[in-house]
Amino acid sequence: MHWRKFNGEPVDLPIYEAVETAIMREIENGHHLKVCIGTDSQVKGSDTEFATVIVFLREGQGGFMFIHNEKTKQSFTIKERMLTEVAKSIDIAYQLCHLFTEYNVDMEVHADINTNPNFKSNDALKEAMGYILGMGFAFKAKPEAFASSCCANKAVN
């Protein structure tokens, strides 16, 4: 799995080590961190591209993120695609949750799913919320889910 920074620079360490290094550096610099993990996707022809982001927020001091892009030829219904986005976010959150506990960093999983029932993505809201909360993670949906709806959205090519 290849990760990069927002400026395109590759993350050379395995993601667990890169996140731990970032957390330690930020704590040493006196920052209080919060991490938000989200995934967004776009369908282009027969391709579906997913972008998963790990957003590090420095309280009152901006932030930075790590990005992973992935393409597939698999076709999805809108509900399947929304739940696949959530599954990708949960996978990363689960891999990293020990770090967040160890370093006392708050973490949320953001779902690019609209809370307004007039939008198609809303069909997946109950399942996504149950999946995320059932894994023990804090959950945010649109409009509060900026990691997926803004950050990951900008990272989908």
Which pLDDT tens digit goes with each residue over 5-57? Answer: 999 999 999 999 999 999 999 999 999 999 999 999 999 999 999 999 999 99
pTM, whole model, 2 decimals? 0.94
Element (H, E) at 127: helix 125-134
Residue carrying the six token digits 């799995």: 1
Q: Are 40 and 112 in contact (CB under 8 A)?
A: yes
Q: Are 112 and 128 in contact (CB under 8 A)?
A: no
Give CA separation, 47 vs 29, 44, 84, 98, 113, in Å: 42, 5, 14, 34, 20
Identify the pLDDT of residue 76: 95
Strands (E), the chain: 3-5, 10-11, 33-44, 47-58, 63-72, 106-114, 138-142
pLDDT in tens, 78-87: 999 999 999 9
